[in-house]
Structure 1
Amino acid sequence: MDLHQKLYCETTGCRMAYVVKEIIKTLRKRFDEEGIELTIEQFFILNILDNEDGLILQELADTLDRDKSAMVRHIDGLEQNHFVTRVTDEEDKRRKLLLLTKPGMKVLEKARQVDQQVDEEVNSTVENIDMDKFEDALTKMYKFLTSK
């Protein structure tokens, strides 16, 4: 049974949403099997903080398009596991910067390895496709959608 028959999906966006949902489900399962104590959302957060160290909570919420209260719950969990710390901004004492810790880097690296394995497995199922062209198409779609 193909995706259209099973999901009654007619559009690229709908089909992509189902594929993404299954990838996330697979990552959750693999994280659990590997003893990685991260939710998928926390994995995204750690990736962002690794690339943009020193964000404040509102900037992170804006990046992930989540409300601030939901982000607080994720950050609290990451902080309890010592993966993230909040430090006072030297330039503005009212601001708390979010920083990735050494244990956070360690768990992120382990999660990235699992993510890479899943990515390779998924990509290996697609024959005769130029991954560079596929990624370029996804980038163009993303830029179009975010330019509005």
Structure 2
Amino acid sequence: MNLERLNPRESIGFLTWKVARIHANDLAARFAEAGVKITVEQWRALLPAYKADGLTQGRLCDMLSQEKTGVSRLVAALEKHGLLRRESGDDDRRVKYIYITDKGRELVDFTLDIVQESRSEIARHVDPEEFAVCKRVLWQLIEPHLDENCCLKREP
């Protein structure tokens, strides 16, 4: 195999992963500085409940594109922090519905400006017009694989 063909500068996977890691690390540092006591991954799991309270845990898995066990751990940690609560369904006790607490809503509200500042800082060296093109191109790659709720489409 010719390893020179695996140039990271030519790999959309590497480039998008690296940008995501840079943003997550920056955001984690900003959260720590602001006294926010949850991880970036936990924060990302909190957002869907903030936007649409009463999701099932399975739906949250779809929205985060993560496996059930990982999401279950995230939800358990958020529940321990008092940011989410889970309730069993009336018809099926195995189905868990997720609700954000007032404390969870306050945390999201508090962190929104922090997240926006981080996003702006990450892209500060990029020409705004070029950045807009970049986002449009990334959406062209992503969109065919997502449903209307930005969840991965399930194969029939």
The gaps in structure 2 that reach 5 residues or longer are: 1-6, 147-152
Q: Percent identity?
A: 23
Count residues in correspondence: 141
TM-score by length of 2: 0.78
2:8/2:15 contact within 8 Å kept: no
User: By how many angstroms is 1:55 displaced?
Assistant: 1.2
Q: Deviations over 1:16-64 (max 9, x none)?
A: 2211111111111111111111211111111111122211112212222
TM-score by length of 1: 0.82
Change (3 A) 1:135 1:9: closer
Which residue in the other structure is 1:4 paired with?
A: none
The amino acid across from 1:105 in the alignment is R
Change (3 A) 1:57 1:116: same
Partners of 1:62 and 1:100 in 2: CA distance: 18
Change (3 A) 1:133 1:96: same
2:87/2:96 contact within 8 Å kept: yes
Q: How does 1:1-148 map to 2 (within 5 A)?
A: 8-90=8-90, 92-94=91-93, 95-127=95-127, 129-146=129-146
- Let me know the Cα RMSD of the aligned residues: 2.2
Q: Which runs of 4+ in 1 moved over 6 A?
A: none
The gaps in structure 1 that reach 5 residues or longer are: 1-6
Which residue in the other structure is 2:4 paired with?
A: none
